[in-house]
Structure 1
Amino acid sequence: MINRKMPKVLATVLAASLALSSVGYAAPAVGEKGKSTYSQDQKIVARVDAERAIEHIKYLSKEIGTRPGGLEAEKKSADYIAKTLESYGYDVEYQYFPVADQYIANVGFSDGTVWEMGASPNGVISNTAVTAEVVYVEGGTSASDFSDVSGKVVLMARAASTAQYRAQVENAVKAGAAGVILQSLVGSRGNYGQAFNPSLTPVYDVPVFGAAYIQGEWLKEQIAKAPVEISLTATHYSNLQSVNVIATKEAKSKDENVKEVILGAHHDSVVGAPGANDNASGVGLMLELARVYKGYNTDKTLKFIAFGAEERGLLGSRYYVNQLTQEQRDQIEAVFVPDMVATNYDKANNLYAMTPDGSRNIVTDSTVEAGARLGNSDILPGTFGSSDHVPFHQAGIPAALFIWMGIDSWSPLVYHIEKVYHTPQDTIEDNISVERMQSALDIIGSGLFDVVRKKTPGNN
């Protein structure tokens, strides 16, 4: 999910006795959790498997790893998604679009381990390694903070403001540092800071990198035990393209005005983060539902889309929407966007169906009602504007985001997403819950099926 200042989250609890949904179906009586009395729900719930979805997360986050928009790893994830969808029998197409340059840093260790960080364009960008001992400097905003750093790589916790961390870099370079690594800060909600590209005014003749908070902590732990030598390299990637992967399931309908429904999830990650929950989880959910839906006829055309470069400004979904004609936009009835749907973070205790302005639509209603039918109280409607549902909403197309989140209070607003969001710790081991994934599959899968399913006498 793109890292932006997130708007206020509003949510209300849906009563289990909803009388009528926006898609025109009476909500059946609530059964035990996962045991809806609605036979159409069981067509999905009985077949979706969280473990299968997590196998996709494993491949994307462990075999491929970090997937910054426009780089080769993102293209590998696109190929994996395309081949998986093709193996289910779907026709698949690639949709390419341009993205801005990337400056990527690599920090190598003697055991062959390499960490990915952000690099400043105004530091040395070279594949020729700067190899030196790394030392930690407390503070750094004063020249007096530095002693015996000549020829060494200086690690510092970045100061809060850009002006202050620029002073840190200036002081380190003047003291003879061979390189500088600025450690990201802990966020206001306790979230660990991500890797970043330091914004510098002068051009320096040493590499200057931006590390994730946890990378700085890991480095400090190593330094405390014994001297540590690292190698710094950086690459400027230009003329980049990202890619959307689109699979289509045509409607089994004689209606000349067939509507279209989209299930879409971004497949890129931020620099330095393997992106298990953000957002291999959304892709895993999409691929598992694609597997199950292939066996069912639908009254509406269904598209499964893996969006590229979401983390760089919702670029893939914006490109997709912008190239549609107005007639094509009018044909889209609903867009379901799973983004971060499997975290194990205990404070993110509800699955939300979010729209940018808090309005309800066919997507929010179908899934909230599915949760009620399934006896699953995890899902609530709410307001959130930082994912691939936004471009569709802005184009007047009903869309909603699905994300696990926790609300502590409304005034002042205190909400939680996982601490390891956008960091090297967004891994299966640290941040994925089988139970949360299963809940999301059941709810989103059942709500989506209620929108697209083939109608027969007696199930309208």
Structure 2
Amino acid sequence: MVVKRKGSKVFASLLAVSIAFGSVGYASAENTNGKSSYAHDQKVVARVDANRAIEHVRYLSEEIGTRPGGLEAEKRSADYIAKTLKGYGYDVEYQYFPVADQYIANVAFADGNTWEMAAAPNGKLSTEAVKGQVLYVAGGTNLSDFPSGTAGKIIVMPRADTTAGYRTQVDNAVKVGAKGVILQSLVGSRGNYGQTFNPSLTTNYDVPVYGSAFIQGEWLKEQAAKGPVEISLTAKHYSNLQSVNVIATKAPKTKTTKTKQVILGAHHDSVVGAFGANDNASGVGLMLEIARVYKGYNTEKELKFIAFGSEERGLLGSRYYVDQLTQEQRDSIEAVFVPDMVATNYDKAKNLYAMTPNGSTNLVTDSAISAGARLGNSDILPGTFGSSDHVPFHNAGIPAALFIWMGIDSWDPLVYHIEKVYHTPQDTIADNISAERMKSALDIIGAGLFSTVRKDVPALNK
């Protein structure tokens, strides 16, 4: 729903780059695990296609768009994933679970473009449009910050850095006669552009009060500086919501009571206002492409491909999935691979990390790093990170790891760099996707996963 989409031309150029580079940058690997392991790696590497994976990213982020947990767009995402996996021949099921209400705002422009924001429950929620001219105000904590002629305008302000501060901003804007208030998110401590946020208010207002992403506020400021900008504000309260996990199963060649299970899972929702191309249509695209390649291979482990819902709302889908498992089912899971943000073009995100919440190694991290070594691919490194769908599995004692492109400062392993447009309307194919990074992730994760499902591998210490 963001103003302009430039994805088609850039997508075509990305595909051309992907075709051209092939496996450029990979040294001829010294096969440390024997010719057999390297040959098995090539069964995956030679077939996984970044073009196909990015086509899934394109559909999810451009055809569907933003995918907040529990809303209709997330269900459309689930249906697309389920249809794709069924088309590959997998048995697929939906797992629904309840999620909290959402308050979603839409900002419409005269040219028909719309933006998605978050609406404060205490502000006016109406499908009947509130129309007005944009006025950008740099302050707002003092009444004197508002120029004469403010009455009747829709005020856009960088939010104060405290809740009490932005509540004062809203109070003041209403006192001077604003028809609506849009609080602009701030730039984060690492330089990341702020995402859409939910204003927390204690007073009820008869005007709309919205929270925008940082870049949306900047775009509004730039447009208003060029001349009058008219916008229309509508909002809706969504209740009795359900989010959904999509689960596809590949049966092993032979199954016994001792057969282990391996999971490749990626969340398919996005935050409000963000197209989520890298976060996390990229992880879903990788998962679907690996599922396509694996469909014809015999495996000795049961393999599940899972698209988790509502990760952005607190890892709700993966938590629900783990909570429904019996202890016997948990014990049968040998490894969980979680790709989340695996195709960014951000220059500071220099390595693909296999992360665990406490930095420990396990079967997942070791299999991926070993695959990278066999392939001569130096992108993969171990790391510590605890904010994705690997966490509920780890907390349940199941070996799991997150795969994500990041930059980590050598002098402080807890200082990390994720792309500036993370969780913003700029997380698009045009602005934030690298075909080369996708190919590297496909090779490493695909080969590492295959090494765990094609034969029994002794469990490593967690």
User: Is the 1:409–1:415 Cα contact (8 Å) retained in structure 2?
Assistant: no
User: Is the 2:190–2:417 Cα contact (8 Å) retained in structure 1?
Assistant: yes
After superposition, give the CA deviation of every residue in 1:122-146 in whole Å (9 maximum; x if it has no partner).
1001101100111111211001111
After superposition, give the CA deviation of every residue in 1:55-95 in whole Å (9 maximum; x if it has no partner).
00000000000000000000000000000000000110000
CA distance in 2, matches of 1:446, 1:259: 18
- Of stretches 140-149 and 442-451 in structure 1, the one that deviates more from structure 2 is 140-149
CA 1:443–1:168 in 2, change beyond 3 Å: closer, same or farther?
A: same
Three-state SS of the structure 2 residue aligned to 1:243 is strand
Output the aligned Cα RMSD: 1.4
How do 1:120-269 residues align onto structure 2 when only pairs under 5 Å count?
A: 120-147=120-147, 148-269=149-270
User: Is the 1:150–1:175 Cα contact (8 Å) retained in structure 2?
Assistant: yes
Three-state SS of the structure 2 residue aligned to 1:159 is coil
Letter in 1 for 2:62: K
Aligned residue for 1:84?
Answer: 84
CA distance in 2, matches of 1:183, 1:140: 12
Note the residue ranges of structure 1 that are not aligned, 5 or more in a row: 1-30, 456-460
Aligned residue for 1:281?
Answer: 282
Three-state SS of the structure 1 residue aligned to 2:430 is helix
Three-state SS of the structure 1 residue aligned to 2:252 is coil
Aligned residue for 2:56?
Answer: 56
CA 1:369–1:428 in 2, change beyond 3 Å: closer, same or farther?
A: same
Shift of 1:415: 1.7
Aligned residue for 1:414?
Answer: 415
CA distance in 1, matches of 2:175, 2:283: 46
| Identity fraction in percent | 79
Letter in 1 for 2:163: T
Aligned residue for 1:424?
Answer: 425
TM-score, length-normalised on structure 1? Answer: 0.91
CA distance in 2, matches of 1:49, 1:428: 16
CA distance in 1, matches of 2:142, 2:410: 40
TM-score, length-normalised on structure 2? Answer: 0.91
User: Is the 2:29–2:373 Cα contact (8 Å) retained in structure 1?
Assistant: no
Letter in 2 for 1:80: Y
Shift of 1:408: 2.4
After superposition, give the CA deviation of every residue in 1:380-405 in whole Å (9 maximum; x if it has no partner).
11111000000000011000000000
After superposition, give the CA deviation of every residue in 1:334-369 in whole Å (9 maximum; x if it has no partner).
000000000000000000000111111000000000
Shift of 1:256: 3.1
User: Is the 2:245–2:307 Cα contact (8 Å) retained in structure 1?
Assistant: yes
CA distance in 1, matches of 2:341, 2:420: 13
Aligned residue for 1:23?
Answer: none
Residue correspondences, number: 426
CA distance in 1, matches of 2:410, 2:161: 27
CA 1:142–1:100 in 2, change beyond 3 Å: closer, same or farther?
A: same
User: Is the 2:278–2:342 Cα contact (8 Å) retained in structure 1?
Assistant: yes
Shift of 1:33: 5.0
User: Is the 2:91–2:249 Cα contact (8 Å) retained in structure 1?
Assistant: yes
Q: Pick from 8, 32, 56 the counterpart of residue 27 of structure 2.
A: 32
Note the residue ranges of structure 2 that are not aligned, 5 or more in a row: 1-25, 457-462
After superposition, give the CA deviation of every residue in 1:295-321 in whole Å (9 maximum; x if it has no partner).
100000000000000000000000000
Letter in 1 for 2:142: S
User: Is the 1:34–1:442 Cα contact (8 Å) retained in structure 2?
Assistant: no
CA distance in 1, matches of 2:160, 2:328: 51
Letter in 1 for 2:104: I
- Normalized per residue, the structure richer in helix is 2
Letter in 2 for 1:356: P
Three-state SS of the structure 2 residue aligned to 1:155 is strand
Shift of 1:412: 8.2
User: Is the 2:188–2:194 Cα contact (8 Å) retained in structure 1?
Assistant: yes
CA 1:262–1:43 in 2, change beyond 3 Å: closer, same or farther?
A: same
Shift of 1:179: 0.2
CA distance in 2, matches of 1:189, 1:110: 35
Shift of 1:409: 3.6
Shift of 1:414: 3.0
